[in-house]
A and B are shown apart, each in its own frame.
Chain A
Amino acid sequence: MIFLKSFFSREVLIYSKKSSNVIGPVIFFLICIAFFPLAISNDPNELSRLAPGLIWICILLAGMLSIQTIFKEDYDDGSLDLFYVRRFSMLQVVLIKIFVNWIFTALPLILLSCLMVFLLYFPLEKLLNLIGSLFIGTLIISFFGALAGALSLGRNSILASAIMLPLSLPVLILGSSASTYSSENITFFILLLLALLFFSVPIISIACIGAIRLHYE
């Protein structure tokens, strides 16, 4: 328990010291969103119809930027080696790292998506569906992203995206449907998203541990 707490505060400290990790995805997300009305059309009807999909795609793309940071810095400065050599419980390390990364990179984007009611004319009555599905969906994406980041530690960043994006396809489909379709169908999609979350958390975190290990053999 003490370990959990101190490791958690260590991670939080790192992220709060280096604000570029947090601001980067936010700027990217806003720019991406702003380009769609300019590139496609500024017709409110059309935009509000496309909004859920656009928000989801932009969140995924912004996620690509942040997955790099989950393990990379610790790998570069050697702290990851230390955790590994000192036989820390890697499961706890991985889970905490992913969760803190989610708090600092995905949570701001979720809050920003509320703005889309104005920017993309997203229907207000569906906002709660969107936020709910984003909460679960971004968590799953963080896990897939962590795996992609762990596999491609020290390699080029395009590779990590090429691994993460196809894996995230179910999240994209379920999440954007949850925010598109009427409220009678939403429980279905939310339940499935939750199921996917509970399914991927253990499997992906174990795969992550394996992926980290292979860099030390």
Chain B
Amino acid sequence: MNAAPDPAAPPSHPAHRGFSPSRIAAIARNTLTELIRLKVFYFLLLFALLIIGNSAFMLRFSFQEEFQVLKDVSLGAMSIFTSLLAIVATAMLLPKDVEDRTLYTILAKPVPRFEYLAGKLGGVLVLLFIATLLMSVLFVAVLFIREKWVIAEILREAGGTPNEQALEMIANVKKSAFSGALVPGIAIIYLKACLLSALTLFVSTFASSSIFTIIVVVAVYFVGHLQATAREYWLAAGANVSWITKGFLAMVSLIFPDLQMFNLVDDIVAGNDIALGLFLRTSGLGLLYVGVYLLAAHFIFSAKEL
């Protein structure tokens, strides 16, 4: 027999959990749904057009040049597209939640502010992963199709029976098309986008609008790419460098991420392998930046009055 519930009796609640990966996962999943339903993946069509168009345009090159340019353009485009997606997708998340008052309803639930931020960032990072994966699949597919096409061309010119020279050419084609450096190179492109996303989240915790956030992060993006060059130029002056310049450079290095370190495209295009040490160092640095920016965002957001 079921006992009639006492309407005045307080309902039983599970004990509050100070930190819950499930809550973060719920917010991340919702953020991913939001971004997908906002149709942000449309930019992939642009990427597809770019590399397919680029591939058709390169028919006039030798196959080595063709694969070099294809990899250069594709990886460069992948880097720019993921960076842009990271900045734009993240910049609108917090202001939109404030504008729609959704932030209030979420934080009025037993959700710590850190988990809210971590969930939002998590959603964008999953989106970036999917975007990077789709672009990589598209890029590899175009590379594969071009490789098969060039090999077929070599075989046709050899009259169907490949001689030693043709076999050597085929081996060269395979070497030019795919290299082991592609996977770590793409992983670093993804990490750079993660870093930019965390940086954007940090800026959006104190920025007044999405536009302001985007402008600030794009400025940081350029400074981050140029600072290594500027540092090398100034330090090359040797003894003439004043302590003020050195201090300024150190400050810039601390505040702005050195994004040039995440640019391994040149090595990949040149056919060089990426050393494991360099990959691990760069990955570690990227993850460190993500962690530091997330903590800095939490520091400001937890003190923010909504």
Instruction: Indicate, yes or no, whether A interacts with B.
Output: no
Residue positions of B touching A, CB distance < 8 A? none
